[in-house]
Copies of this chain bind each other. A is one copy, B any other.
Amino acid sequence: MVLYVIGLGLGDEKDITVRGLELVKSCEYVFLEHYTSILGGVSKEKLEDFYGKSVIVADRGLVENDAEELIIEPAKEKKVAFLVVGDPVCATTHTDLVIRAREVGVEVEIVHNASIMGAAGACGLQLYNYGQVVSIPYFDDKWRPTSFYPKIKYNREGGMHTLCLLDIKVKEPDFVAMAKGRTEFLPPRYMSVNVAAEQLLEAEEKIGEGAYDSKKTLCVGLARMGQPTQQIVAGTLEELIHADLGGPLHSFIICGELHDLELEVVKEFLIEGSTFERDNSKSDDK
């Protein structure tokens, strides 16, 4: 039969498309991907009520180790839905699932929806002016990777904005408990705009190639985009370290060159007394 990979959009249960909802209702098994993103404030139970179906939460282990048996094998005979927050083609994980399903002859149909990449236009920065998207992983004691830094630098030198996707840690093993012989997981963590700003500041201080200026470059913090409690705050990197944007998910934008129309919208979100200075000079002329 068919594996339907269906985007849920960004907000709550009603952000699924009419087509997507009809397909979910027609499926035998419904999986909800639950480790690259979260659907803000909607429980599995609420989704089940809305669909009139049981929903199986698929964590990373299930998708990476058991997808063959639990998702792809049943999809040979029946209709199976794999629900993904945002748009299904945004994360590599789902590409992999699609490839594996098609390899064994399962038909795969994608139902698109809004993603954070599209919704990032809501702060007034034109989607045309974004460069490469980067991911910012949680720094820990030993691992403080700054591979996002040269990408942001390259985008900024070309006048482009950079959307930064912030790390999510769901169902991470608790090694302290495991050492004591118990299988336990740490509580989920979602990187805030504040932590992202701190880490970006650290990267600039460490590398020092002037990819961005912590006191001048305009940055935008996004929280719960597409949800009723959506919040957008603009300011410098230093200012965003202390901005309170409430609960997850957060994303972060480092602006490049600002066009007049962009500035007109984004300045509505500026922190009071911000030291941001408009600076449209490119570092070189490429």
A114 to B119, CA, bound (A): 10
Main secondary structure on A side of the interface with B:
helix
Chain B nearest CB from A174 CB (Å) reads: 30
Q: Let me know if A127 and B89 touch, CB within 8 A.
A: yes
| A131 cross-chain contacts in B, Cβ below 8 A | 131-132, 155, 158, 160
Chain B nearest CB from A227 CB (Å) reads: 10
Number of interface residues of A (CB under 8 A): 55
Chain B nearest CB from A39 CB (Å) reads: 13
Q: Let me know if A117 and B113 touch, CB within 8 A.
A: no
Proximity string of chain A (233-274) to chain B, C-beta cutoff 8 Å, 1 when within and 0 when not: 000000000000000000000000000010011000000000
**Contact residues of A between 1 and 34, Cβ < 8 Å to B:** 7, 9-11, 13-19, 21-22
Kindly report which residue of chain B lies nearest to residue A21, judged by CB atoms.
B18
| A99 cross-chain contacts in B, Cβ below 8 A | 264-265
Determine whether A143 belongs to the interface, using a CB cutoff of 8 Å to chain B: no
A272 to B93, CA, bound (A): 28
Q: Let me know if B115 and A118 touch, CB within 8 A.
A: yes
Which of B17, B124, B150, B261 has a CB less than 8 Å from the CB of A286? B150
Determine whether A212 belongs to the interface, using a CB cutoff of 8 Å to chain B: no
10 tightest A-B contacts by CB?
Answer: A89-B121, A112-B114, A14-B19, A87-B118, A14-B18, A128-B133, A154-B158, A115-B118, A131-B131, A15-B17
Q: Let me know if B124 and A114 touch, CB within 8 A.
A: no
**Contact residues of A between 84 and 123, Cβ < 8 Å to B:** 87, 89-90, 92, 95-96, 98-99, 110, 112-115, 117-119, 121-122
Kindly report how many copies of this chain are found in the complex they form together: 2
| A14 cross-chain contacts in B, Cβ below 8 A | 17-19, 22
Proximity string of chain A (141-153) to chain B, C-beta cutoff 8 Å, 1 when within and 0 when not: 0000000001101
Determine whether A226 belongs to the interface, using a CB cutoff of 8 Å to chain B: yes
Determine whether A276 belongs to the interface, using a CB cutoff of 8 Å to chain B: no
A265 to B124, CA, bound (A): 33
A13 to B13, CA, bound (A): 19
| A37 cross-chain contacts in B, Cβ below 8 A | none
A265 to B114, CA, bound (A): 22
A264 to B119, CA, bound (A): 29
A15 to B112, CA, bound (A): 8
Using A87-B121, A99-B265 as known contacts, list a sample of 10 further A-B pairs with CB atoms less than 8 Å apart, ordered by residue number in A. Answer: A9-B112, A17-B18, A87-B119, A90-B118, A99-B264, A113-B114, A115-B127, A131-B131, A132-B160, A154-B286
Q: Let me know if B261 and A89 touch, CB within 8 A.
A: no
| A90 cross-chain contacts in B, Cβ below 8 A | 118, 121, 127
| A155 cross-chain contacts in B, Cβ below 8 A | 131
Chain B nearest CB from A58 CB (Å) reads: 20
